Amino acid sequence: MTVRLLIVDDQELIRIGFRLFLQTQSDLEVVGEAADGHEALAQAAVLRPDVVLMDVRMPRMDGVEATARLTASGSAPRVLILTTYDLDEYVFGALRAGASGFLLKDAPRERLLEAIRVVHAGEALLSPSITRRLIEDYATRTEPLQPPTEALTGLTPRERETLLLVARGMSNPEIAAHMVVTEATVKSHVGSVFTKLHLRDRAQAVVFAYENGLVHPGTRG
């Protein structure tokens, strides 16, 4: 299956560089480019990409707002944020807006390819430095975390356990080994959790678990 890509960045040379590199991959197809969030929304509506490579700082409409608008519909593309900045405000804003991944532009080329394929497959991807900042933010909060939402009462014990393990960064095979079940069972639990809590993917599951106090910094899977 070919993954259809839309590149969004206000710098033309960066868009060209990404396009030339990504076109060397037989399973990737760059179907369009956009210079800001407004263009991204228009292009996505016409081209229907599978994954959008989204810059953060752009004129007229930044990447966070564009991501929120793109992911508002059920048939939205996956969004992979690519930026030179790893500031907290962008990390949390992008994740809450519905981004499935966050990668710095100086990441190795192989890491970019992996990120695109992982995000397209429905998983979440955060660079190590981004993950560390996410954990540090919750570790240093002085205000109390929100109490668990009523939505959690609709989860079965197994689904709740699955959510906790996802939030701790465990993969499906790791969760299966931990719970002594098959990977198919884990996928079923994960899908049910996402449906009941109205989550798009693992990135949103991590944010949800931390914001509701289900997982605390330093907890290991």
The answer, yes or no, to whether residue 46 has pLDDT greater than 60, is yes
pLDDT category at 170 given cuts 50, 70, 90 is confident
User: What pairing do the DSSP bridges indicate for beta strands 101-104 and 125-126?
Assistant: parallel
Q: Average of pLDDT values for 35-39? A: 94
The answer, yes or no, to whether residue 220 has pLDDT greater than 50, is no
pLDDT category at 128 given cuts 50, 70, 90 is low
pLDDT category at 1 given cuts 50, 70, 90 is confident
For CATH 3.40.50.2300, list the domain ranges present in the chain.
3-136
CATH class of 150-211: mainly alpha
For CATH 1.10.10.10, list the domain ranges present in the chain.
150-211
96 or 115: which leads in pLDDT: 115
pLDDT number for residue 143 = 54
Instruction: For domain 3-136, give the CATH number.
Output: 3.40.50.2300
pLDDT number for residue 141 = 56
Q: Average of pLDDT values for 95-100? A: 80
Task: Identify whether the C-beta of residue 6 lies closer than 8 Å to the C-beta of residue 35.
Answer: no
pLDDT in tens, 194-209: 889 888 777 778 778 8
Query: Which residue carries 């048939």 as its tokens?
Result: 75
pLDDT number for residue 150 = 72
Q: Average of pLDDT values for 87-111? A: 79
The answer, yes or no, to whether residue 221 has pLDDT greater than 50, is no
d(CA 99, CA 63): 10
145 or 33: which leads in pLDDT: 33
Average pLDDT, the chain: 82
pLDDT number for residue 180 = 92
pLDDT in tens, 138-162: 555 545 455 556 778 888 999 999 9
Other CB atoms within a 10 A radius of the CB of residue 106 amount to 8
Q: What is the pTM of this model?
A: 0.68
137 or 220: which leads in pLDDT: 137
Question: In one letter, which amino acid is 4?
Answer: R
pLDDT number for residue 217 = 54
Crossing angle between the packed helical segments 12-22 and 109-120, to the nearest 10 degrees: 80
Question: In one letter, which amino acid is 5?
Answer: L
Question: In one letter, which amino acid is 200?
Answer: R
